Amino acid sequence: SFHLRLLTLQAMAPKRSAGASSQGPKAKVARKTAPVDPVDRAVGAVLSAIKRCEVQEEQQRLLVETCPIALRTLASDRHLFAAQVFGWAQQLLAEYGSAVAEKDAKAKSVVGAVDDRRSEAAKVKGAAEATVADCQAKLSAAKEARHQAQEELKARSAEL
């Protein structure tokens, strides 16, 4: 009966997993991030640039799929097709760089023209404000002269 109660209590007790210990939960350890290979980073940058280029979809897909192999292979070890892919990518990126530089130059030119127009508009505004201020001063002087003339007219009318 004692043996039977012990078996019953063991059956009712919470089960422990195979790796559980009486020490409690283990401390969490921060995972170390794997270092990024500089070649992988460079290949990713080249692929990203190729995806931004304006070329036919088939050409872009061909370069994106074949470029990583060509880029990771030393120039002396590349076979003819890999060398050709590398050359295509190099040409495409050079053209893309030129196009970006051209667009940048045009954008700077437009910004310069806008700045020149703003400067001219500021000069015109300043001249207009000066003219308005001059006109207001003349108007104020004319009103004062009119007021004095009316006062003088009243005074002379009163004398007569």
In this prediction, residue 3 has a pLDDT band, given cuts at 50, 70 and 90, of: very low
Q: What is the model's pLDDT at position 17?
A: 59
Q: What is the model's pLDDT at position 116?
A: 94
Asked if residues 68 and 43 have their Cβ atoms less than 8 Å apart, the reply is yes
What is the arithmetic mean of pLDDT over 142-151?
93
Cβ-count burial 69-97 (b if 16+ within 10 Å, e if not): ebbeeeeeebeeebeebbebbeebbeebe
Asked if residues 46 and 89 have their Cβ atoms less than 8 Å apart, the reply is yes
CA distance 137 to 135: 5
Instruction: Check: pTM over 0.85? Answer yes or no.
Output: no
In this prediction, residue 22 has a pLDDT band, given cuts at 50, 70 and 90, of: low
Among 38, 85, 77, 37, smallest CA distance to 60 is for 85
Q: What is the model's pLDDT at position 75?
A: 87
Q: What is the model's pLDDT at position 21?
A: 56
CA distance 50 to 64: 7
